[in-house]
Structure 1
Amino acid sequence: MSELQNPPHANRGVVMLKEEKENVENPLVSMVDYIRVTFKTHDVDHIIENILHLNKDFMTEKPNGFYGYVGTFELDFIKVFYSSPGDNRGILVELSGQGCRQFESFLDWRKKTWFDFFQDCIQNGGSFTRLDLAIDDKKTYFSIPELLKKAQKGECISRFRKSDYNGSFDLSDGQMGGTTIYFGSKKSEAYLCFYEKNHEQAEKYNIPLEDLGDWNRYEIRLKNERAQVAIKELIKRQDLTYIALQIINNYVKFVDPNERERRYWEASDFWQAFIGDVGKLQLYMKPQRDFYQKTRNWLKNSCSPTMKMVLEADQHLGRNDLSDMIMEAELSDKQEKMLDVFLAEVKDMVV
Structure 2
Amino acid sequence: MDNSVMLDYLAVTIKCLAPDDVIEKILILPKDKFVLNEWGINKYQRHYAFSEIKVNFNKDWESKMGVFIELRGQGCRQYEEYMESNVNNWVTLMKRISECHSNFTRLDIANDIFDDSLSVPLIYSYCKKQKDTMRGAVERLEKLINNKN
TM-score, normalization: structure 1? 0.35
Q: CA deviation at 1:81?
A: 0.2
Measured in 1, the distance between the counterparts of 2:8 and 2:91 equals: 14
Partner of 2:36: 61
More helix by share: 1
Among 97, 102, 118, the alignment partner of 1:126 is 102
- How far the C-alpha of 1:233 sits from its partner, in A, is 1.2
Does residue 43 in structure 1 map to residue 8 in structure 2?
no
For 1:110 and 1:50, the matched residues in 2 are separated by 16
How has the CA–CA distance of structure 1 residues 88 and 104 changed in structure 2, closer, same or farther, with 3 Å as cutoff? Answer: same
1:234 maps onto 2:134 in alignment: no
The number of equivalent residue pairs is 133
- Cα RMSD after superposing both structures: 2.6
CA change 1:100–1:89 in 2 (3 A) is same
Determine helix, strand or coil for the equivalent of 2:43: coil
Tell me what 2:84 maps to: 108
Question: Of 86, 97, 100, which aligns to 2:73?
Answer: 97
Alignment of 1:1-351 (within 5 A): 24=1, 26=2, 28-41=3-16, 43-85=18-60, 87-108=63-84, 111-137=87-113, 139=114, 229=133, 231-238=134-141, 282=144
In structure 2, the partner of 1:181 is: none
TM-score norm. by structure 2 comes to 0.77
Q: CA deviation at 1:45?
A: 1.3
CA distance in 1, matches of 2:138, 2:28: 19
Q: CA deviation at 1:110?
A: 6.7
Mapped contact 1:115–1:234 kept (Cα < 8 A): no
Q: For structure 2, which runs of at least 5 residues remain unmatched after alignment?
A: none
Other structure's SS at 1:66 match: coil
- In 2, the alpha carbon distance for the partners of 1:59 and 1:109 equals 23
- How far, CA to CA, are the matches of 1:239 and 1:31 in structure 2? 13
1:61 counterpart SS class: strand
Given that 1:61 and 1:74 are in contact with CA atoms closer than 8 Å, whether structure 2 keeps it comes out as yes
User: Which stretches of structure 1, 4 residues or longer, exceed 4 Å deviation after superposition?
Assistant: none
Identical positions, percent = 29
Alpha-carbon distance in structure 1 between the residues aligned to 2:17 and 2:38 = 15
Q: Quick check: which has more Rg, 1 or 2?
A: 1
Identify if the C-alpha distance between structure 1 residues 116 and 71 changes in structure 2 by more than 3 Å, giving closer, same or farther. Answer: same
